Amino acid sequence: HHVWPLSNAKGLTSGLYRRVFLPEDFRIYTDGRGGLAKSELPLIRLYSFQRDCFYEGYVEGFPVSLVALSTCSGLSGILQLMNASYGIKPLEAAAGYQHLLYPMWNENIKTRLFIENSSLAWTVEVSLEPEDSKQAVHRSSWYLEMHAVLDKSLMFARLNLTIVLSSLELWTEKNKIPTTGDVEELLQRFLQWKNVHRVLRLQDITFLFVYREQSHYVGASSAKKLCLKNNAGGVALYQRAMTLEAFAVVVARLLGLSLGMAYDDPGSCHCAGAACIMQASLVHLAGVKAFSSCSIRDFQHFLATGGGQCLLNRPAMDTAYKAPVCGNKVVEPGEACDCGTTEECQRDPCCTIGCKLRRGVQCLSGPCCRKCKFVKKGTLCRSSSEDECELKEYCNGTSGECTPDLWVMDGHPCSRNTAFCYQGVCQTANKQCQKVFGRGAKNGPLACYEEINSQRDRMGHCGSNRHGYQHCAWK
């Protein structure tokens, strides 16, 4: 625990637990002779003693709060309350162990993001109740491995998604690609570069961080393409007037776009923080940021449609990181459950403060779990009234999870013999258009495809390589 003295207020006490975001094979790449990237293994060994000094937690008495802290070389980090943010850093010239705690002000800078292949607004129509969406997201753990190139995050906890920084590359001698120009062009150059010069191991997504004095856009990302290796990437521009808090939100939003999230509608999307991450106009506000109910719904749909297959593998973590910590809301070896803080556990009907199940508890979550008990056998737990290729599933009475998802055999005719079933979806052209552009969209005439896809530009092509966009070969 740490006590933070604030002016005009009593000291605040924060509860912290160690945070893991570096795998045991974490690598740092720098420019080698000839411009080739080399792995800094000696640097990794020197860095290893500092890998267990990252913490995150909360402020006691403030349910909506966040603390992210590093103790590697003194104390540095951020403390977020509902509507206020504070930074902490060591005083370099001060005698003794003195630190500066200061309020953070985010200037109302431009925070527009460019979404690759989707410059128009897009929405995802999903008929899910909020409770069902939340349960689906929390059914299992997901891991996103990230490679960062330079000229982390409690925000994802509600998605049960762990961000792991698998490697870091520093361009110390010269930039491998031109980093000037429009952010859309920069994203395309970066994607082409990373597809050719991919480093030793595969990551789920690769980011390029670039400093600019000012820019019309602050980032670009390929929407809903996280697990498509050739398209998974993003560019984030760190501007002179931007705080690290605001930049972290920009990166989180770029990741959200890649994870299938759309921008929030302020009238229908709600979150526990002072501002919702995917709400474009509120990034400059201080205080805790959180993903909204709409973002959770979009992420659940992204997973349900097979977009998150690359998130299933768990990176190898060093054994020093594997000691279970009761209270971090992650069920680890030796724990039956983990309800989080003392206040959260007092409200939890299934789990106790000591990470033990309450008496009579059968399950914690899932579509077949209600009030910590299995629902009756034969209860419908998964159905789709919209797609004839999907089959209904029912609870078995012995598990909180629904039985395995089943669908009509791939290739079976559907939509009055005008399309075919594939992975539980009748793959009609109209349905694919609606998935991208929203309800009301429909398939265009063949002449439009022939005209637009022969242009070999951003709006009409059949893939790209280092030579540019490719035209479509009609059959």
Residue by residue, pLDDT tens for the chain (475 residues) are 455 555 444 555 555 666 655 666 667 776 654 444 544 443 444 344 455 677 777 777 777 777 888 877 777 888 877 777 888 888 766 656 677 777 776 555 554 555 444 332 222 232 333 334 344 444 456 666 666 655 534 556 667 777 777 777 888 778 888 988 888 889 999 988 888 765 534 578 888 998 888 777 888 888 888 888 888 889 998 887 777 788 888 888 999 999 999 988 878 888 877 778 888 766 567 777 888 889 999 998 888 888 888 887 776 654 444 456 788 787 887 899 998 888 889 989 999 988 999 999 999 988 999 999 999 999 999 876 667 888 889 999 999 999 888 889 999 999 889 899 988 888 898 888 887 788 888 998 988 888 888 888 877 888 877 788 887 876 5
What one-letter code names the amino acid at 8? N
Inter-axis angle of helices 130-137 and 293-304, to 10 degrees?
A: 60
Read off φ and ψ for residue 47, nearest 5 degrees.
-80, -15
Render 244-269 in DSSP notation, one character per residue.
HHHHHHHHHHHHHHHTTPPPP-TTT-
Rounded CA-CA distance 454/396 in Å is 52
Asked, for residue 447, whether it belongs to a domain, the answer is no
- Determine contact, residues 65/80, Cβ cutoff 8 Å: yes
What one-letter code names the amino acid at 170? L
List Cβ neighbours of 173 (8 Å cut-off, separation of 6 or more). 31, 35
Asked, for residue 415, whether it belongs to a domain, the answer is no
Asked, for residue 63, whether it belongs to a domain, the answer is yes
Number of Cβ atoms within 10 Å of the Cβ of 22: 24
Nearest Cα residue to 98 out of 75, 68, 71, 70: 75
Model pLDDT, residue 399: 93
**Degrees to nearest 5, angle at CA 266 with 269 and 340:** 40
CATH number of the CATH domain containing 68: 3.40.390.10
| Residue 390 Cα distances to 260, 382, 407, 421, 422, angstroms | 22, 9, 5, 9, 10
Rounded CA-CA distance 466/333 in Å is 46
Rounded CA-CA distance 336/351 in Å is 8
- Cα-only R_g, the chain: 24
Model pLDDT, residue 168: 79
Model pLDDT, residue 2: 52
What is the count of structural domains for the chain? 1
Task: Report the chain's terminal Cα–Cα distance, integer Å.
Answer: 67
Render 191-222 in DSSP notation, one character per residue.
HHHHHHS--SS--SEEEEEEEES--S-SEEEE
Nearest Cα residue to 154 out of 319, 329, 365: 329
Asked, for residue 475, whether it belongs to a domain, the answer is no
Asked, for residue 446, whether it belongs to a domain, the answer is no
Asked, for residue 248, whether it belongs to a domain, the answer is yes
Model-level pTM? 0.54
Asked, for residue 93, whether it belongs to a domain, the answer is yes
Asked, for residue 464, whether it belongs to a domain, the answer is no
Helix (H, G, I), strand (E, B) or coil at 347: helix
Rounded CA-CA distance 96/98 in Å is 6
The pairing of strands 275-276 and 289-290 is parallel
Rounded CA-CA distance 368/398 in Å is 9
Nearest Cα residue to 60 out of 338, 343, 352, 339: 343
Domain range enclosing 260:
2-311
Rounded CA-CA distance 250/236 in Å is 7
